[in-house]
Structure 1
Amino acid sequence: MADKNVQPFDIKAMEKWLENFFLDPLTSYMDEIAFRVDIFETETEIIVEALLPGYERSHLSVYVEDNVLTISANHKPNQEAYNHHTRTRKMEFPCSIINKQIHAVFQNGILEVILSKTTPGTGKNRKIAIS
Structure 2
Amino acid sequence: MKLRHQVPSTLRNDITRSGAVLFGPLHREIDRLFEDFSQGIASQQKMMHLLPNIDVAENNKEIDISVEMPGLERSDVDISLEDNVLTIRGEKKMETHRDDKNVYVSERAYGTFLRTIELPAGVDSSKVNATMSDGVLKITILKPANVEAKKIEVKEGKNGKPSTRAQ
1:52 aligns with 2:69: yes
Which structure carries more relative contact order (alpha carbon 8 Å, separation 6+)?
1
Match of residue 83 from structure 2: 66
Task: Identify the match of residue 51 of structure 2 among 21, 25, 34.
Answer: 34
Q: What fraction of aligned residue pairs are identical, expressed as a percent? A: 30
How far residue 52 of structure 1 moved from its aligned partner, in angstroms, is 0.7
Secondary structure at 1:55's aligned position in 2?
A: coil
CA displacement, residues 48-81 of structure 1 (integer Å, 9 cap, x when unaligned): 11111111111011000011000112122359xx
Of 130, 138, 144 in structure 2, the residue corresponding to residue 112 of structure 1 is: 138
Cα distance in 1 for residues equivalent to 2:49 and 2:95? 24
Unaligned runs of 5+ in 1: 1-29, 120-131
Alignment partners' CA distance in 2, 1:51 and 1:110: 5
After superposition, the C-alpha distances for 1:96-131 in whole angstroms (9 at most, x for unaligned) are: 424661010001111011101269xxxxxxxxxxxx
> How far apart are 1:92 and its partner, in Å?
1.6
Structure 2 segments unaligned to the other structure (5+ residues): 1-46, 97-108, 146-167
Corresponding residue SS for 1:58:
helix
Q: Which amino acid aligns with 2:86?
A: L
Does the 8 A contact of 2:56 with 2:65 survive in 1? yes
Q: Which amino acid aligns with 1:113?
A: I
List, as ranges, runs of 4+ consecutive aligned residues in structure 1 with deviation greater than 6 Å.
Answer: none
TM normalised by structure 2 equals: 0.45
Distance in 2 separating the partners of 1:118 and 1:50: 22
Query: RMSD between aligned alpha carbons?
Result: 2.8
Q: Which is higher, the Rg of structure 1 or of structure 2?
A: 2
More strand by share: 1
Shift of 1:84: 6.3
Name the structure 2 match of 1:122: none
Q: Which residue type is aligned with residue 82 of structure 2?
A: E
User: TM-score scaled by structure 1?
Assistant: 0.56
Residues paired across the two proteins, number: 87
